């Protein structure tokens, strides 16, 4: 019997998870399933397990989906699925667990496992619908062997792997042919791309029709002169560095087993700003790491004020079973973590406002991504959220260079 099955897929977590989710969407479409947001047959959660809180969110999201769409088949994929498989944990919330889905056969086995009467006509790649997104993620690296004290990722993602450069180029060309204007290079540990990240960037910048290349998170210690030089001089490079800091206190950085101290981090930021005074520097920060005293935290706040990040992703530390930090003494209460998170947020909002202000009355280059009925929204090369009044959405997926009229608390108005 031929059935027209539908699915909804949600990815939680980092850009690598988002990228993996998009590839899974392509595979499902090529197997003849239709994507919908309206009562799907299958709900797939590409779950993140980077923290205990992330795992909790996975459970909550699965439960919410089954309440919203009674009878829907629930699939758990991604890092959280791998974690549960490794630890032989029951996944009673999910009807199917899909730890890896590199090949179509595995995905088909999942669909037919859930719907045994499902048959499909193989589609060629030309039948795969292009995603509506204007920015596309291109995963070129996976795996990490850093073993930071709080992080489960090295245990889950295993050995480091890099996409061969010729394949990366082919993938980039495919994404451009689908209509994407900007590619975000992602990896768990992008700076470990082999043989050379800068060499890869020089190949990708030659892809015709590709207008922007953005780097996702990269460790500060892996940002060398050559990379800074490429970003400063390539007409396609986005002037944006996302450098995970995690703590602005040397004692805590050591306890976290991070591969740098604040002085090293500062030196990299100084080099970047020396070449590109208006480059965006964004970061990730963990508050409430075990043993983080008020004095340690005060050092972090001072460092944040000094560096003036234009965006900070704040994570309240949550112990992840199997990592050294989970059993460290002096675990902090949720109230302390929430308070510290608010204090960091105050600083980054202030720093972001100062950063946006520097662009007022200057030309900014924006890729318009969404339309809410009244305004277009998009991001500048420096990853500043921008908006402008519009009557329709015809400029979506267009790049416009225009003057910023005003800075608001959330970005720029043009």
> Which residues sit at the interface with ligand SF4, rule CB under 6 A?
144, 146-148, 151, 153-154, 188-189
Give the nearer residue to ligand SF4 in terms of CB position, either 158 or 209: 158
Residue number, 94 or 218, with CB nearest to ligand SF4: 218
Contact (Cβ atoms closer than 8 angstroms) between residue 45 and residue 59: no
Strand order in the sheet with 385-389: 399-403, 363-371, 375-380, 385-389, 411-413, 406-408
* CA 306 distance to own-chain centroid: 25
At its nearest, how many Å lie between ligand SF4 and the CB of residue 124? Answer: 36
Instruction: For residue 351, give every residue at least 6 positions away whose Cβ sits within 8 Å of its Cβ, in sequence order, or none.
Output: 304, 305, 308, 309, 310
Smallest gap from Cβ 189 to ligand SF4, in A, equals 6
Q: Give the pair of three-digit tokens for residue 118.
A: 């499902």
CB of 50 to ligand SF4, least distance (A): 8
HSE, CB side, 13 Å, CA atoms: give it for residue 79. Answer: 29
Minimum Å gap between C-beta 73 and ligand SF4 is 31
Between 296 and 320, CB nearer to ligand SF4:
320
| Residue 154 beta carbon to ligand SF4: minimum distance, rounded to whole angstroms | 5
158 closest CA partner among 137, 143, 173, 178: 143
The Cα 298–Cα 292 span in angstroms is 10
Q: How far is the CB of 186 from ligand SF4 (least distance, A)?
A: 12
In the bound state with ligand SF4, the residue whose beta carbon lies nearer, of 153 and 231, is 153
Given 3-state DSSP classes, what are the helix, strand and coil percentages for the chain, each rounded to the nearest 5? 40, 25, 40
Task: Return the closest-CA partner of residue 6 out of 39, 47, 30, 52.
Answer: 39
For ligand SF4, give the closer residue by CB, 66 or 146.
146
Query: At its nearest, how many Å lie between ligand SF4 and the CB of residue 31?
Result: 31
DSSP three-state, residue 24: helix
CB of 256: closest distance to ligand SF4 in angstroms? 8
Q: What angle do CA 238, 243, 245 make, to 5 degrees?
A: 160
- Tokens standing for residue 58: 């996975």
Coil, strand, or helix at residue 121? coil
**Which residue number, 58 or 151, has a Cβ lying nearer to ligand SF4?**
151
Whose tokens are 């795969």? That residue is 128
Pairing verdict, β 182-187 and 212-215: parallel
Contact of 213 with 238, CB cutoff 8 Å: yes
Q: Which is nearer to ligand SF4, 91 or 247 (CB)?
A: 247
Quote the least distance from Cβ 315 to ligand SF4, whole Å: 10
Select 230 or 260, whichever has its Cβ closest to ligand SF4.
260
Token pair 């197997």 is found at: 31
Nearer to ligand SF4 (CB atom), residue 153 or residue 376: 153
């Amino acid at each position: 019997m031929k059935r027209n099955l539908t699915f909804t897929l949600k990815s939680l977590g980092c850009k690598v998870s988002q990228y993996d989710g998009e590839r899974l969407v392509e595979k499902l479409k090529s197997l003849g399933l239709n994507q919908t947001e309206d009562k799907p047959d299958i709900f797939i959660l590409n779950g993140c397990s980077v923290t205990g809180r992330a795992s909790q969110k996975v459970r909550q999201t699965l439960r919410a989906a089954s309440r919203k769409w009674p009878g829907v088949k629930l699939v758990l994929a991604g890092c959280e699925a791998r974690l549960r498989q490794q630890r032989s944990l029951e996944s009673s919330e999910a009807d199917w667990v899909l730890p890896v889905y590199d090949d179509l056969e595995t995905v088909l086995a999942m669909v037919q496992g859930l719907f045994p009467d499902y048959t499909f006509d193989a589609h060629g790649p030309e039948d795969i619908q292009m995603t509506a997104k204007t920015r596309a993620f291109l995963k070129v690296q996976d795996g990490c062997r850093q073993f930071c004290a709080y992080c489960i990722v090295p245990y889950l993602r295993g050995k480091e792997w890099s996409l061969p450069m010729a394949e990366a180029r082919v993938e980039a060309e495919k994404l451009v042919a689908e209509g994407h204007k900007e590619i975000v290079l992602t990896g768990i540990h992008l700076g470990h791309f082999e043989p050379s990240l800068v060499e890869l960037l020089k190949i990708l910048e030659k892809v015709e029709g590709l207008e922007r290349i953005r780097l996702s998170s990269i460790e500060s210690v892996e940002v060398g002169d050559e990379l800074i030089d490429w970003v400063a001089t390539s007409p396609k490079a986005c002037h944006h560095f996302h450098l995970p800091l995690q703590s602005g206190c040397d004692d805590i950085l050591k306890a976290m087993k991070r591969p740098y101290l604040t002085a090293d981090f500062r030196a990299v930021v100084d080099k970047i700003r020396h070449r590109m005074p208006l480059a965006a520097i964004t970061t990730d920060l963990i508050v409430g790491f075990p043993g983080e005293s008020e004095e340690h935290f005060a050092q972090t706040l001072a460092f944040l004020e000094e560096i003036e990040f234009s965006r900070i992703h704040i994570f309240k530390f949550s112990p992840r079973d199997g990592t050294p930090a989970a059993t460290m003494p002096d675990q902090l209460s949720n109230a302390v973590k929430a308070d510290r998170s608010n204090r960091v947020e105050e600083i980054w909002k202030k720093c972001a406002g100062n950063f946006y202000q520097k662009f007022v009355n200057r030309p900014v280059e924006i890729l318009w991504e969404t339309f809410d009925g009244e305004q277009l929204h998009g991001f500048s090369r420096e990853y500043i959220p921008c908006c402008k009044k519009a009557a329709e959405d015809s400029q979506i997926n267009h790049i416009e260079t225009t003057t910023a009229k005003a800075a608001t608390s959330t970005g720029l108005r043009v």
